Every structure is written in C-alpha cells, then in structure tokens.
Amino acid sequence: MVQSRLLNIRVIFAALVILALGYGIYEAMSFGFLAKIFPLYMSLFCLILAFINLGLEIRRSLRETQDSGVGLVDLESDWGIPMTAVIERFCLFLGILLLLYASIFLVGYPLSITIFLVLFYRFITKTAWWAALAAGFAGLGFISLISRLMVIDWPSGIIQNWIHLPWPLG
C-alpha cells in the first residue's frame, strides 16, 4: 500500500528532474573552466531544490489517506476546455519553437532570440509594441552581458557567413 502511494506522478517527476540535473552536473564537469561555471552551479543549486522537492512530495504522498481516483494524475479533469482547443494551442507553441530553432539556424542565436521575444510578447501575450520591444532589447542586453562576462560565443547562423553583423548580433 505504501509503494502504491509513493508511485505517483509527482514523485516520479521529481526523481526524473534529479536524474536530469545529475546528468547536467556530469556533463558540466567536462567543460572548460569558464564554460562550466554557470551550468555546474545552476545544476547544483537546482539539484538541492529538487531533492527538497522530492522529500516534500514523498512526505505528501505518505500523508494522503484517500486516493483521488484519477490514476497517476492529481488534477481535475473537467476544465471546460475542448480538447481541440488544447491541441490547437499545443500545435501553435510547438510551431513557434520549431520556427525559433529554424531562425537560430538561419540568422544566429542573439538576433533570433531578440526577434522571438518581440514577436512573442506582441502577438501571443498581446502586449503593447513598446513593451514587446523593451522585452526584446532587455533579452539582447542580457545575452550581450552574459557573452561579455563569460566570454561565450553564441551560435551564428548561415546567413551570418555572408553578412557580417556588429558584435551583439554577429
């Protein structure tokens, strides 16, 4: 009975997150000194949080006395959203991510992320143009700062082989 209470989606997900972060630490150890600082310490910090989360989820699972009857899912199933709307929204976001990767391939990471942020804020979240442009330039500023401080070269696109762009973009 205790095993069935521990085998729920929250505990399984927390364990999978711990495995992914452990792999991140393992991979970061093979990077050069400056390149491994951010991924290693972020993975270590997140791993500590993931272990705390796993402990809380196990404790929560052991304290639950009644099964909700929905299998491995702990959410209500009647949301009033038609499944076609959920699938359409999923396909929209999947398409957006695929376009982002294609634009990174074509024009490079800094320019693609800047354009992505502006378009996402403007058309998906329906913010004003000034707020979308501010978000895009803030993202570009953050990428430029990280690039300068950690001496990181972001992926360049195939178009940048023909057109040389100034520093934060190229």
Q: Read off the pLDDT of residues 6-54 as tens digits, 9 standing for 90 and up.
A: 778 888 899 999 999 999 999 889 888 877 888 899 999 999 999 999 9
Q: Are 68 and 108 part of one and the same domain?
A: no
Please indicate, yes or no, if residue 144 is contained in any of the structural domains: yes
Residue range of the domain that includes 3: 1-72
Q: Are 55 and 110 part of one and the same domain?
A: no
pLDDT at 75: 53
Q: Are 145 and 105 part of one and the same domain?
A: yes
Q: Are 25 and 65 part of one and the same domain?
A: yes
Please indicate, yes or no, if residue 79 is contained in any of the structural domains: no
Give the confidence band of 4 by pLDDT, cuts at 50, 70, 90.
low
Q: Are 108 and 161 part of one and the same domain?
A: yes
Q: How many structural domains compose the chain?
A: 2
| Angle subtended by helix axes 33-63 and 9-28, to nearest 10 | 160
Q: Are 68 and 100 part of one and the same domain?
A: no
Q: Read off the pLDDT of residues 76-129 as tens digits, 9 standing for 90 and up.
A: 556 677 888 888 999 999 999 999 999 999 998 999 999 999 999 999 999 999
Q: Are 101 and 68 part of one and the same domain?
A: no
Q: Are 105 and 66 part of one and the same domain?
A: no
Whether 74 has a pLDDT exceeding 90, the answer reads no
Q: Are 163 and 118 part of one and the same domain?
A: yes
Q: Higher pLDDT residue, 1 or 18?
A: 18
Please indicate, yes or no, if residue 3 is contained in any of the structural domains: yes
Q: What's the CA gap between 112 and 106, in Å, rounded?
A: 9
Q: Are 154 and 116 part of one and the same domain?
A: yes
pLDDT at 112: 93
Whether 5 has a pLDDT exceeding 70, the answer reads no
Q: How many CB atoms lie within 10 A of CB 145?
A: 11
Backbone angles phi, psi at 163, to 5 degrees: -115, 120
Q: What's the CA gap between 31 and 128, in Å, rounded?
A: 41
Terminal alpha carbon distance of the chain: 59
Please indicate, yes or no, if residue 24 is contained in any of the structural domains: yes
Backbone angles phi, psi at 87, to 5 degrees: -65, -40
Backbone angles phi, psi at 77, to 5 degrees: -100, -15
For residues 139-161, give the mean pLDDT.
Answer: 86
Please indicate, yes or no, if residue 81 is contained in any of the structural domains: no
Please indicate, yes or no, if residue 120 is contained in any of the structural domains: yes
Please indicate, yes or no, if residue 16 is contained in any of the structural domains: yes
Please indicate, yes or no, if residue 80 is contained in any of the structural domains: no
